[in-house]
C-alpha cells in the first residue's frame, strides 16, 4: 500500500458512507435525540460537518469520549462553547464508565421533558452517530450493558443498523461511522491521524510524528521533556524527535536515527495518554 507522503493530502470517502448518510436521514424521524460522539482531544476535527445538515434542529448531545486523555481545562472550555451553540455536552470515558452517571441524568431530564404533556409516557429514543474510531461502539456497549455492537481498534469496524435496549429502558439506534467527502481544513485530516482515526498504514508515520511534536511543543512541550527525559526541546521538531531517539536508544546500524520507531512510540504514547492529558484543539477565539 502506498503511503501518503504529505499529511495534508489525507482524505477518505468509501462508497458505503453515502448509503450511511441516507440511512441516518431516513431514520432521524424515528428518534427523539441524537448522541454525537466526539474525541475529547479533538472536539472539532472529530465531528462530521454534514451531521449538522442532517440533524438540523433535533435535540443533540455531544458525548466527549476519551475525556480522561484530554486536558481538563480545555475540555471545560469546549463544553461551555458547545452549550453556547445550543447543544448538550457530556464528558465521559465509554471504556471505563467515567461520566456515564451524569450522562444518564441528562437523558432522564430530556425524557421527562419529552413526556411532560403526554398521558402515555414513552422511553427516550436515541440515535448514536460519530466518525469511526471515536468510541461510539464502546459507548453503546456501556449503555446497554452487553456486547451489543462490535468494537475494535481499526477505523470503521461497526457495520449495519440495529436497535438496542439500554439498561434504563431507553432505546438506542446504532449506525455505522459516517465520514465526509472532503476535509475543508487540511489540519482535520492530521488531527484525526494523530488520534488514530485514520490508519497508520496509509500515512508516513515519521512525518506524522514530526508534525505532532511540532504541535505539542506549542502547548505541551514540558510533557515531552518530562516523558522522554530531554534536557530541553530542540530548536526544531526534527531536533526534538532525534533527541527522543537518542534518549531511547532508537538507533540503526552506524548510529543512524530510527525515525519510524520513534514515530510509533510517540504516537502510541500520545494516543494512550502516557505523555499526558492533551487537547490538540482550542475553542474558536480561545487562547492557544
Whether the per-residue pLDDT at 160 is higher than 80: the answer is: no
List CB contacts of 141: < 8 A, sequence separation 6 or more.
Answer: 94, 147, 148, 149, 151
- Residues 120, 112: contact at Cβ < 8 Å? no
| pLDDT band at residue 150 under the 50/70/90 scheme | very low
Give, in order, the Cα–Cα distances in Å from 185 to each of 7, 48, 79, 190, 284.
12, 12, 22, 10, 14
Q: What sign does the dihedral 172-174-175-180 (CA atoms) show?
A: positive
List CB contacts of 252: < 8 A, sequence separation 6 or more.
Answer: 258
Average pLDDT, rounded, for the chain = 85
| Residue closest to 21 by CA, chosen among 131, 124, 183, 126 | 131
E-strand spans in the chain?
A: 33-39, 59-65, 88-91, 125-129, 162-165, 171-174
Q: Which residue, chain included where needed, has cell 538507533? A: 251
Q: What is the pLDDT of residues 204-214, one digit of tens each?
A: 999 999 999 99
Q: How far apart are the first and last CA of the chain?
A: 36
| Residue 99: per-residue pLDDT | 94
| CA pair distance 41, 65, nearest whole angstrom | 9
Q: What is the pLDDT of residues 72-122, one digit of tens each?
A: 999 999 999 999 988 999 999 999 999 999 999 999 999 999 898 888 889
| Cα 3 from chain centre | 23
- Own/partner contacts of 154-163, CB < 8 Å, gap of 24 or more, are 154/199, 155/196, 155/197, 155/198, 155/199, 156/14, 156/132, 157/132, 158/132, 161/23, 161/27
Interior CA angle at 206 toward 205 and 207, to 5°?
A: 90
**Highest mean pLDDT out of 129-133, 171-175, 246-250:** 246-250
Average pLDDT, stretch 226-250?
97
| pLDDT band at residue 149 under the 50/70/90 scheme | very low
Q: What does the radius of gyration of the chain's CA atoms come to, in whole angstroms?
A: 20
pLDDT: which is higher, 227 or 130: 227
Q: What is the pLDDT of residues 29-72, one digit of tens each?
A: 889 999 999 999 999 999 887 788 788 888 999 999 999 999 99
Map residue 257 onto helix, strand or coil. strand
Beta strands 33-39 and 125-129, pairing class = parallel
pLDDT exceeding 90 applies to what percent of the chain? Answer: 55
For the whole prediction, is pTM greater than 0.95?
A: no
152 secondary structure, DSSP code: -
Q: Which residue, chain included where needed, has cell 472539532? A: 44
Map residue 140 onto helix, strand or coil. helix
- Residues 159, 5: contact at Cβ < 8 Å? no
Cβ atoms within 10 A of the Cβ of 83, count? 12
| Residue 183: per-residue pLDDT | 67
Q: Hey, what's the cell of 91?
A: 464528558
pLDDT: which is higher, 225 or 198: 225
Amino acid at each position: 500500500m502506498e503511503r501518503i507522503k504529505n499529511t495534508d493530502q489525507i482524505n477518505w470517502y468509501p462508497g458505503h458512507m453515502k448509503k450511511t448518510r441516507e440511512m441516518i436521514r431516513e431514520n432521524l424521524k424515528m428518534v427523539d435525540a441524537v448522541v454525537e460522539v466526539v474525541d475529547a482531544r479533538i472536539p472539532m476535527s472529530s465531528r462530521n460537518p454534514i451531521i449538522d445538515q442532517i440533524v438540523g434542529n433535533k435535540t443533540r448531545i455531544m458525548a466527549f469520549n476519551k475525556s480522561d486523555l484530554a486536558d481538563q481545562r480545555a475540555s471545560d472550555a469546549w463544553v461551555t462553547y458547545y452549550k453556547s451553540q445550543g447543544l448538550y455536552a457530556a464528558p465521559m470515558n465509554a471504556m471505563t464508565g467515567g461520566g456515564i452517571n451524569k450522562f444518564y441524568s441528562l437523558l432522564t431530564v430530556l425524557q421527562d421533558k419529552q413526556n411532560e404533556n403526554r398521558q402515555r409516557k414513552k422511553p427516550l429514543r436515541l440515535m448514536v452517530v460519530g466518525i469511526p474510531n471515536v468510541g461510539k461502539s464502546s459507548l453503546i456497549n456501556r449503555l446497554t450493558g452487553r456486547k451489543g455492537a462490535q468494537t475494535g481498534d481499526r477505523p470503521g469496524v461497526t457495520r449495519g443498523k440495529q436497535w438496542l435496549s439500554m439498561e434504563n429502558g431507553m432505546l438506542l439506534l446504532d449506525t455505522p461511522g459516517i465520514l465526509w467527502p472532503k476535509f475543508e481544513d487540511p489540519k482535520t485530516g492530521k488531527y484525526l491521524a494523530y488520534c488514530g482515526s485514520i490508519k497508520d498504514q496509509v500515512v508516513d508515520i515519521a512525518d506524522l510524528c514530526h508534525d505532532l511534536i511540532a504541535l505539542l511543543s506549542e502547548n505541551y512541550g514540558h510533557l515531552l521533556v518530562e516523558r522522554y527525559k530531554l534536557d530541553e526541546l530542540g530548536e526544531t521538531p526534527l531536533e526534538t524527535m532525534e533527541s527522543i531517539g537518542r534518549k531511547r536508544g532508537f538507533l540503526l546500524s552506524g548510529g543512524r536515527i530510527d525515525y519510524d520507531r520513534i514515530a510509533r512510540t510517540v504516537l502510541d504514547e500520545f494516543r494512550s495518554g502516557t505523555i499526558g492529558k492533551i487537547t490538540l484543539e482550542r475553542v474558536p477565539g480561545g487562547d492557544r
